[in-house]
Amino acid sequence: MQIRMILRNLKFDSVEKFLTLLLSLSLILLGDLFLIVFFAVVGNVYVILSIVCFLTFLSFIIARFVLKKSLENLTAGLNSGAVPNEEFAIFFGELLGSVFFIVPGFISFIIGAFLLYRNFAKKIGSKLIVYLGINVTELYEYIKLYEIKI
């Protein structure tokens, strides 16, 4: 699985997609920085930074709870004996949403909040699985074969 992923990423199309993804993430962070500076100039700097810190801490707690619940659902799906495609997609979507949710800023907070909803997480997670080239059946068999505890 790793060799196929490495070989696929050696193509220019994959490199271009990765760079585009990094560009969009950096634009989101720049937008967040602009909003924080704008609100700090308009209002009180310490209040704005306190709000951002509070939202980041709250985001961490919520993301931790959501991912724990998602892993419990994934474990239950793994123990059922069938390949839990939907649970894998939801987990990967919520994992991406948690990353956005924890990054300090207003725009990333909103994007992360949307991605933590199960319906959005399922759609984005399934696209992420396809984009990364993860074979869920192979992943399921690997987890079962080596009895990896989640």
Render pLDDT for 72-98 as a digit per residue (tens, 0 to 9): 988 888 888 788 889 999 999 999 999
Contacts of 148 (CB under 8 A, 6+ apart): 142
| Interatomic CA distance for residues 33 and 43, integer angstroms | 15
SS3 state at 147: coil
The alpha-carbon radius of gyration of the chain (Å, integer) is: 18
Residues listed for the chain: 150
User: Do residues 127 and 17 make contact, with C-beta atoms less than 8 angstroms apart?
Assistant: no
Please provide the average confidence, as pLDDT, over all residues in the chain. 85
| Interatomic CA distance for residues 92 and 63, integer angstroms | 13
Distances (CA, A) of 101 to 52, 74, 116, 129: 12, 21, 8, 20
Whether 150 shows a pLDDT value over 80: the answer reads: no
Q: What is the pLDDT of residue 136?
A: 86
Q: Is the pTM of this model over 0.85?
A: no
Q: What is the pLDDT of residue 82?
A: 82
Q: What is the pLDDT of residue 40?
A: 84
For 59, which DSSP code?
Answer: H
Mean pLDDT confidence for 95-104: 89
Amino acid identity of residue 139, one-letter, is L
7: confidence class by pLDDT, cuts 50, 70, 90? low
Amino acid identity of residue 81, one-letter, is G
Q: What is the pLDDT of residue 146?
A: 73
Q: What is the pLDDT of residue 149?
A: 66
SS3 state at 18: helix
1: confidence class by pLDDT, cuts 50, 70, 90? low
Whether 64 shows a pLDDT value over 90: the answer reads: yes
Q: What is the pLDDT of residue 119?
A: 92
